[in-house]
Amino acid sequence: MGQIKELLAPAGSLEAFYAGVASGADAIYLGGKAFSARASASNFSLEEIEEAVTYAHIHQVGVHVATNILIGEEEMEEALAYVHDLYRVGVDAVIVQDLGLAQLIRQNFPDLDLHGSTQMTVMDLEGAKFLEDLGFSRVVVARETPLDQIEKIARKTSLEVEVFAHGALCVAISGQCLMSSFIGGRSGNRGACAQPCRKPYDILKRGEEKVLGQGYMLSPKDLNTIDRLSDWAQAGVYSLKLEGRMKSPAYVAAITRNYRRALDGKTYSSQDMAQAFNRGFTQGLSFGDFGESYASVHRPDNRGLRVGKVRDIRGKRIQLLLEEDLRKGDLLEFSLPRERKKTHKLEGDLREGLHNLNLPFRPLNRSEIRRIISQDQLDQVAKDLKKQEGTLPLKGHLTLEVGQVPRLLLKGKRQVEVEGSLPVQKAQKAPLSQERIRESLEKFGSSVFYLEDLTLDFRGQADIFLPIKELNYLRREALKAYEDLYQGKRPGKASLNFYRETPTRENRETVLAARVDSLALLKRLDLGRLGRVYYSQLEDLEAAADFLKDYPGDFYLSLDLGVPHQRVEAALRKLARRPDGLLVANYGQMVHFKGAYPLHLGSGFNIFNGWSLSRLLEEAGEFTLSLENHHQQLAAFYRDFGQLGHIPVYGYQKLMTLKHCPMALIKKCQAPRPCKTCNFREGYGLRDGRGAYFPIVRREDISSLYNSLPTYLGGELEDLLRMGPQSLLLDFHFQEEDVEGIIEAFAQALSGQTASLKDLNDHFQKEGHTKGHWNRGIF
């Protein structure tokens, strides 16, 4: 369909930034010290971003800055001021997750390119069209997006399509993972993910019987699509994103260098890329990898490259059989008993073959040796940077006239002239020679520019004098002024516009609502106590609708992420009683079904501030605010906007939505997958090292991983009702839950009888529960 236009490299530091430029990137993405989804990276100060922009633009490379986290109400002024600074220093684009921030950026900086982060969960044409209508110029599609949808987006919108092409993968659908957030308060939506997906788990049946021993069931291999570039191009991909803002400059250089070579039709080195960092490689979900071809079950970290094995151990003498030459500075990894690993840095070069080595530890005999860090790759970064120096020629013209300050003109594709600070003097003794002038002005150091030619104009006066430090000053000022021409600085705005609509709605009496995932659970509901029922199981939807045909309350279909719109429509056409509305999970579903049904926008829209809500009020009338809001944030939303929708008060919270299925590691299944009839589709889960058990349910080729404890807010009922939600939501997923008792207790409490709710409070206090982010919020 087209040609890939951009190779986008990561940078978590200035060193990595320079490495990416030197290795052939067309653009670099980075994050600042705040508002970035890689909070643990070194990241860039504003001054460093300004320096990076200048350096990149000289090399005709773009700079994209990630501001891709959710922004709290009280942070929005600071966040927009930060974007204002980025705008002024000349960055080419900002990458945004938060819809409210995006609205304000478009409002204040209409000429600044907006890129929709993968955290916005855009995985189809309709979601992309929504961003296009908001003024975005690019969408970074979700990693799970099928190729046919990527092609539709590229063909039917004006958006540039950016895909993740290489590096670490999130196992959950981006923007929809709450596992780190709910376990420890470190939210991926705020750039603070603790990566529980990289921890070991057992797979258990019914929480007790181990069916697969400890392994890294949620840890994906690293993405590597260098062999699929023609497929990306055919689908209309504009930009290939290389992941790695947490990685070293050597990694950035190696990966960028090889993708550059591949895009240019040259030979590349898979071994070079694997040496840089790898957890094993997968081509990813877009290209059909699944199960063992997707997950890095045996280890979650860098495994480097095998370079030999331990041949024999005699006392402290370790005999190595090396399969290739090694360099001083290489970091080797050895295996120890109980699956432990130790590293050793070589103090000298070693040739291929047999060697004896003294180690401060005892590795396993006959175990393999792996090189984790290659000194050759470290040296290559320095070589590549050195090659950048002095590659662009400039012509100079120096004017020296007695009694006047000197003037130096530099001319290349652009032109600049600067004046000195001291006037030129008539020489009293030895005049300033032309050789001395040239020697001083040609010292461009590590700059990409060099002085190709210099003309001197003495205005007919040969006997002149000027201190050498003045010539050095003139050179520095001229070179800096010339480089600054590439920065692309823009004028600042006098003031920023924070306007938003805040329409309020009249509150109705709060009712009780329930959501269920199966027909069996639906039949256990006391429908007379409920003002609304949400049903989320497409497979039994016809039977559920029939069961609810005489139910006087609202019947809503709750949609999961990743389910094709056509699949939903086919199920809806069969119903005798059509739903009264839909609970939708992302922008694509919202756009597709808008107008056909009343919509409730679910918690996956990550509404974290009033600007986001104000914009989404144009699309729907009901909302579940982000589950990462604490109670004071929720109260502010309801105070400012009136009745909004439901607040979940009970249920095992879904922590992850995944295309990956951990059960496939047992079944070894590939496409087409018989999820509908699979014996592992429910009743199984993961147990972590603390003994917590996380149930998993597979539906419609999508896995849902639930929290080990239920969220329960029965003890906060007074505060909840004071907010005035439309309904309190009870979320039921498992047959073991006390559906009848929980509904009864909340129903009685809403009618003023609190005894049963107090008993329920005591029960959960004893058995264990979480209040989610009600009290603590997120980092």
Give residue-wise pLDDT tens across range 146-193. Answer: 999 999 999 999 999 999 999 999 999 989 999 999 999 999 999 899
CA 476 centroid distance within chain = 40
Task: Please name every residue paired with 222 in a beta bridge, in sequence order, or none if there are none.
Answer: 281
As a whole number, mean pLDDT of residues 244-258 equals 97
- Which residues 6+ apart lie within 8 Å of 430 measured at CB? none
Q: What is the DSSP string of 343-354?
A: EEE-SS-B-SEE
The predicted structure's pLDDT at residue 40 = 62
pLDDT at 39: 61
pLDDT (0 to 100) of residue 218: 97
**Banded model confidence at residue 339, pLDDT cuts 50, 70, 90:** confident
Cis peptide before 672 (omega within 30 of 0): yes
Total residues belonging to the chain: 779
- What pLDDT score does 525 carry? 98
| Amino acid identity, position 42 | S
* Ordered DSSP codes for 104-116: HHHHH-TTSEEEE
Rounded to an integer, what is the distance from CA 119 to the centroid of its chain? 6
pLDDT, averaged across the chain:
95
Q: What is the tens place of the pLDDT at every residue in 342-369?
A: 999 999 999 999 999 999 999 999 999 9
Asked whether residue 530 carries a pLDDT value surpassing 70, the answer given is yes
CA 320, CA 325: separation in Å to the nearest integer?
12
Predicted local confidence at residue 297, as pLDDT: 95
Both tokens assigned to 31: 């994050």
User: What pLDDT sits at residue 203?
Assistant: 97
pLDDT of amino acid 41? 64
Statement: residue 294 has pLDDT above 70: yes
Q: What is the mean pLDDT of residues 463-483?
A: 94
Residue 396, token pair as written in the block: 């100079």
pLDDT at residue number 126? 98
Rounded to a whole number of angstroms, the CA Rg of the chain reads 31
The secondary structure of residue 770, as a DSSP letter, is B
Could you give the CA distance from residue 320 to residue 309 in angstroms, rounded to a whole number?
Answer: 6
639 Cβ neighbours under 8 A, 6+ residues apart: none
Q: Say yes or no to pLDDT of 672 above 90.
A: no
How does residue 507 score in pLDDT terms, banded at 50, 70 and 90? confident
Q: Are 177 and 655 in contact (CB under 8 A)?
A: yes
Locate 7 and state its tokens.
């190779």
- When pLDDT is averaged across residues 90-110 and rounded to a whole number, the result is 97
Supply the angle between the helices 125-133 and 147-156 in degrees, to the nearest 10: 30
For residue 381, what pLDDT is reported?
94
Q: What percent of the chain clears pLDDT 70, i.e. is strictly above it?
A: 99
Over residues 599-607, mean pLDDT:
97
Per-residue pLDDT tens digits for 127-152: 999 999 999 999 999 999 999 999 99
Following DSSP, what letter does each residue of 507-555 receive, concatenated? ----EEEEEESSHHHHTTS-GGG-SEEEE--STTHHHHHHHTTT--SEE
Checking if the pLDDT of 1 tops 60, the result is no
Decide: helix, strand or coil at residue 490: coil
The pLDDT value recorded for residue 465 is 92
